[in-house]
Structure 1
Amino acid sequence: MTSSPARMPRTRRMPREARRKQLLLAAHQVFVAHGYHGAAMDEIAEVAEVSKPVLYQHFPGKRELYIALLDVHLEEFTGLLQAAINSTSKNKQRVTATIRAYYEFISRDSQAFRLIFESDLMNDPEIGARLEEFNSTFASSIAGVIADDTGLGRAQSLLLGRAMAGMAQVSARYWLDLSDEVPMEEASELVARLAWRGIGRFPMES
């Protein structure tokens, strides 16, 4: 985990939506630094420089705050991946763009990926369902492209979609420890080449 989060600049009155974003930013810093179980609403309020009653006006508890923050990051990551998939009609470039999107998200200074892939609430049914929906949606998007191009069945295409998503995720998280030795562009390109060597061998559907 990272060091203790920095306090945000003090603010007074602000619109409700702006205040909510401020609280989510403070919560993000605390959750990334300490994990869900190590985080406290007291510290989140302190980092945001608001009173606890103000914090509870927006979020009834720590779990609800965590879920709201997770939803923000999942929506952001989903948009990034979908944009990569839709960025071209050429599948080799599509594979490269999609894997690059994983690396870009995981390399961000915000470390938002920790809330998605390293959550200490994986066994929570509601949070687990959100994470599974994210993984399923992304794998299905990849599977649709694979099925259209190769003629493989839905189950086979979904299996390949999950495999590609897993390859991107695991390799990108491992790459963080090697980022001083292997630039992100090179790392994502290497993994994209590996993925394409597999997917590209399936015959194209005429």
Structure 2
Amino acid sequence: MSTSPENRPRLRRDQRRVQLLDAALEAFSQGGYHQTLMDDIADRAGVSKPVLYQHFDSKLDLYLGIARGVADEVLTTLTAALASSDNNPERIRACVATFFDFVDRPGSGFPLLFASDMGQEPAVAALLEETRRACGEALAAEVAEATDVPREEAVLVGMALAGVAQTAAMHWYRSPGDLSKERATDVVVALAWRGLDGLPVEGATGAHQDAR
């Protein structure tokens, strides 16, 4: 239901932008990008459509604003997970859990970005690739530091880890059943760690490497 102009709170420009992005995220998540009209978003935000166009040039501009926010949050959270512990298995779990927590959190926008047919839109495709690459690079930095794997191979491993975690989380999200988020996370962590466990540890040989 729209709010009448006389009752509408006056917000700073940055506050209004956040409000409009939140309204758009709700509208897109509920009705899908293609079925949602700018009128729907304006009404949900309690503003006139001209006010909406003062902040965003188009519906695609709105979508990209949401997508950039989601991408930034994913990378920030993943980076924090990597820094959360000096214990490698714990860090791997924290990283995998990041993706499952995003898809499981209502209003995160993660499915809207990573499971939308908007991926065919060039600007969205570029943002998705940039985000995947950034996540892979963040993981690669840790792999390169902890192992004797060359940088180029570390990037490959990092991209693979990020891809596995994201794909598994989206599959779990799209296929509701009896598998809990915790158990799904455990399974992916076991897969990831067993793969990483085969990499040569920095400065370790023989029994020392086996003891890690």
Matching residue of 1:51: 48
Match of 1:70 in 2: 67
Matches of 2:127 and 2:147, distance apart in 1: 30
**8 Å contact 1:37–1:120 — kept in the other structure?**
no
Sequence identity, in percent? Answer: 37
2:159 maps to a residue whose letter is R
TM-score by length of 1: 0.89
- Give the 5 Å matches for 1:115-194: 115-177=112-174, 180-194=177-191
What amino acid is the match of 2:70? H
CA shift, 1:124, in A, is: 2.3
Q: Which residue of 1 aligns with 2:208?
A: none
Instruction: Write the distance in 2 (CA, Å) between the matches of 1:60 and 1:194.
Output: 44
Gaps (5+ residues) in structure 1? 1-6
Aligned mates of 1:177, 1:136 — CA distance in 2? 24
Per the TM alignment, residue 100 of structure 1 is displaced from its structure 2 partner at its CA by 0.7
Instruction: Give the match's secondary structure for 1:105.
Output: helix
C-alpha RMSD over aligned residues = 1.8
Aligned AA (1:142): L
Please tell me whether Structure 1 or Structure 2 has the larger radius of gyration of its CA atoms: 2
Report the counterpart of residue 101 of structure 1 in structure 2: 98
Q: TM-score, normalised by structure 2?
A: 0.87
Q: Check whether the contact 1:35–1:120 (CA below 8 A) recurs between aligned residues.
A: no
- Find the aligned partners of 2:54 and 2:48 in 1 and give their Cα distance: 10
AA of the residue aligned to 1:62: K
Alpha-carbon deviation of 1:151?
A: 1.4
- Structure 1 residues 152 and 174, CA, compared in 2 at 3 Å: closer, same or farther? same
- 2:3–2:47: 8 Å Cα contact kept in structure 1? no
Offset at 1:35? 2.6
Conservation of the 8 A alpha-carbon contact between 1:8 and 1:26: no
Which SS does the other structure have where 1:121 is aligned? helix
Q: Which runs of 5+ in 2 are unaligned?
A: 204-212
Post-superposition offset of 1:36: 2.3
* Deviation of 1:65 (Å): 1.1
CA shift for structure 1 position 174: 1.6
Give the drift of 1:155: 2.2
2:31 counterpart of 1:34: yes
**Deviation for aligned residue 1:9:** 7.0
Residues 145/79 of structure 1: CA separation in 2 closer, same or farther (3 Å cut) = same
- Return structure 1 stretches of 4+ with deviation > 6 angstroms: none
**Which 10-residue stretch deviates more, 148-157 or 190-199?**
148-157
